[in-house]
Chains A and B, each alone.
Chain A
Amino acid sequence: MTGAPSVVVLDYGSGNLRSAVRAVERAGAEVELTGDLDAAMAADGLVVPGVGAFEACMRGLRAIRGERIIARRLSGGRPVLGICVGMQILFEQGIEHGVETEGCGEWPGVVERLQAPIVPHMGWNTLSVPEGSELFAGIADERFYFVHSYGVRDWTLRTNDRTQAPLVTWAEHGGDRFVAAVENGPLTATQFHPEKSGDAGAHLLRNWVGSLRAA
Chain B
Amino acid sequence: MSLSVRVIPCLDVDAGRVVKGINFKQLRDAGDPVELARTYDAEGADELTFLDISASHEGRATTMEIVSRTAEQVFIPLTVGGGVSSVEDVDRLLRAGADKVAINTAAIRRPELISEVADRFGNQVLVLSVDARRAAGTDSGFEVTTHGGRQSAGLDAIGWAARAAELGAGEILLNAMDADGTEDGFDLELLGAVRREVSIPVIASGGAGAAEHFPPAVEAGADAVLAATIFHFGKVRVAEVKGALRSAGHPVR
Number of interface residues of B (CB under 8 A): 35
Q: Does A145 have its Cβ within 8 Å of any Cβ on chain B? A: yes
Give how many A-B residue pairs fall within 8 Å (CB-CB): 107
The answer to whether B52 has its CB under 8 Å from any CB of chain A is no
B126 nearest CB across to chain A (Å):
10
**A124 cross-chain contacts in B, Cβ below 8 A:** 3-4, 6, 46, 253
Residues of B within 8 Å of A195, CB to CB, are: 75
Residues of chain A within 8 A (CB-CB) of B188 are none
Complex: chain A residue closest to B72, CB-CB: A22
In the assembled complex, the CB of A206 is this many whole angstroms from the nearest CB of chain B, namely 13
Q: A16-B71, A16-B98, A125-B4 are in contact. Are A196 and B199 (CB under 8 A)?
A: no
Q: Which of B86-109 contact A (CB under 8 A)?
A: 94-99
Closest to A202 in B: B75
Asked, given contacts A123-B46, A124-B6, A143-B4, whether A196 binds B124 with beta carbons under 8 Å apart, the answer is no
Residue-by-residue, is A10-30 near B (CB-CB < 8 Å gives 1, otherwise 0)? 000001101100110010000
Question: Known: A123-B3, A198-B41. Is A19-B124 also a contact (CB below 8 A)?
Answer: no
Q: Do B68 and A18 have beta carbons less than 8 Å apart?
A: yes
B131 contacts chain A at the CB level, 8 A cutoff = no
> Which residues A154-198 have CB closer than 8 A to chain B?
171-173, 193, 195-198
B3→A173 contact, CB < 8 A: yes
Q: CB within 8 Å of A: which of B158-202?
A: 170-171, 199-201
Task: List A contacts of B97 (CB < 8 A).
Answer: 16, 18-19
B125 touches A51 (CB 8 A): yes
Q: Are B121 and A52 in contact (CB under 8 A)?
A: yes
Binding site for B on A (CB under 8 A): 15-16, 18-19, 22-23, 26, 51-53, 56, 117-126, 128, 143, 145, 147-149, 171-173, 193, 195-198, 201-202
Interface residues in chain B, defined as those with a beta carbon under 8 Å from any beta carbon in chain A? 1-4, 6, 41, 46, 68, 71-73, 75-77, 94-99, 119-125, 170-171, 199-201, 223-224, 253
**A-B pairs, 8 with minimum CB distance:** A52-B122, A18-B97, A123-B3, A147-B124, A124-B253, A22-B72, A124-B4, A126-B1
